[in-house]
Amino acid sequence: MFPIHRHPPVAQALDEGRPVVALESTLLAHGLPRPGNVETGRELEDVVRRHGATPATIAVLDGVAHIGLSGEELRRICSEPDLTKLGLRDVPVAAGLGRSGATTVASTAALAQSAGISVFATGGLGGVHRGARDSFDESADLDVLARTRIVVVCAGVKSILDIPATLERLETLSVAVIGFQTFAFPGFYVTESGCTVDWRCETPEEVARIFAAADGFSAAALVVANPLPVHRQLDPALHDTVLGYALGSAVEAGVTGRDVTPYVLQRLHVASNGLTQEVNVDLVLRNAALAADIAVAYSSMSG
């Protein structure tokens, strides 16, 4: 039996049919610098609570999948050196070996859905990598979203990826992508990626109704793209300049495969003098707030 521990506040909320929002731990463990990542983790959970839902930060600790973390467990995730990054394929391995790790979008979504959580907030999705025609490099997020019934609130996909190819792949996998109050698909750090989506919603209640309408019809996720307001995005000109530098640096350094994303994101952070990190925190907090609103709306419909 796969070992899962539900944090008591999360277990109580789920048992009583109250709204819960899943949060990934890889952002905290690998995406943000220490020690500020602990404060961001607390802020994310506080935002979810202020919007009427119970936060469930997900991670694997000593071989047990934790659906929600205590304060001490959150600090551990944010401070433990060399914590493993666990994709979906890695979770049972970590469980079998009694290891610890932070969960990605794919593994968080799957664990959340298995625990009965319907809404998940993250920063940006993984997707099809640039040059995937030759490397076949594609995030496991896409396949998992195709078979995991959950609402995922995000700021699009990371701009270092091939965004048009990622949207095409999501369409092929029958994963619905909806813009929140926009038809423009966001580019993570920037409000618009240059791509569009076919559908938009104006309110959390509309998102909840769409998700409810798919019950018994679709087993795929519903992706809600929530762009940053224009005045809070990274300056697009700076973004393009810095991204070009970071991608070129990765090629020169011979970085390939799963190492490309963390390498390029770190170069973006350095070249932008830390601005990308500030934008990253801003967008994930906004996504957590919207996810909580959607969870509240969905819970009221389900109840």
HSE-CB for 180 with a 13 A CA cutoff: 27
Report the pLDDT value the prediction gives residue 131, as an integer from 0 to 100. 57
Distance CA 21, CA 288 (A): 8
> Which has more confidence, 210 or 1?
210
Place of tokens 């610890």: 100
Report the pLDDT value the prediction gives residue 1, as an integer from 0 to 100. 63
Q: Is the pLDDT of residue 170 over 70?
A: yes
Distance CA 201, CA 183 (A): 9
**Pairing mode, strands 190-196 and 184-187:** antiparallel
Report the pLDDT value the prediction gives residue 133, as an integer from 0 to 100. 58
> Which has more confidence, 275 or 185?
185
The band of 257, judged by pLDDT with boundaries at 50, 70 and 90, is low
Pair of tokens at residue 167: 């949207």
**pLDDT tens string 130-166:** 655 555 466 778 889 999 999 999 999 887 788 998 9
Q: Is the pLDDT of residue 219 over 90?
A: no
Report the pLDDT value the prediction gives residue 127, as an integer from 0 to 100. 65
Give the CATH architecture of domain 1-117: 3-Layer(aba) Sandwich (3.40)
Pair of tokens at residue 187: 């580019």
Report the pLDDT value the prediction gives residue 283, as an integer from 0 to 100. 95
Average pLDDT over residues 177-195: 94
| CA distances (Å), origin 287, targets 83, 114, 166, 180, 294 | 25, 22, 20, 11, 10
The band of 303, judged by pLDDT with boundaries at 50, 70 and 90, is low
Give the least confident one: 31-45, 102-116, 283-297.
31-45
Report the pLDDT value the prediction gives residue 268, as an integer from 0 to 100. 77
The band of 217, judged by pLDDT with boundaries at 50, 70 and 90, is confident
Report the pLDDT value the prediction gives residue 135, as an integer from 0 to 100. 54
| CA distances (Å), origin 87, targets 42, 141, 301 | 23, 9, 32
How many percent of the chain have pLDDT more than 90? 67
**pLDDT tens string 50-86:** 999 999 999 999 999 999 999 999 999 999 988 999 9
Average pLDDT over all residues of the chain: 90
CATH of region 120-303:
3.40.1790.10
Q: Diameter of the chain by CA atoms?
A: 55
Please identify every residue annotated as catalytic: 24, 158
| CA distances (Å), origin 59, targets 18, 198, 213 | 21, 34, 30
Sorted by sequence, the CB contacts under 8 Å of residue 94 that are 6+ apart come out as 60, 63, 84, 86, 100, 101
- Concatenating the DSSP letter of every residue in 208-219 gives HHHHHHTTTT--
How many percent of the chain have pLDDT more than 70? 94
Decide if 144 contacts 167 (C-beta within 8 A): no
Report the pLDDT value the prediction gives residue 18, as an integer from 0 to 100. 97
Average pLDDT over residues 202-229: 94
Distance CA 264, CA 248 (A): 9
| CA distances (Å), origin 182, targets 153, 194, 224, 300 | 14, 13, 11, 25
Average pLDDT over residues 189-213: 95
103 φψ region: left (φ > 0), alpha (ψ -120 to 50), beta (else): beta
Q: Is the pLDDT of residue 271 over 80?
A: no
Specify the domain boundaries for CATH 3.40.1790.10 within the chain: 1-117, 120-303
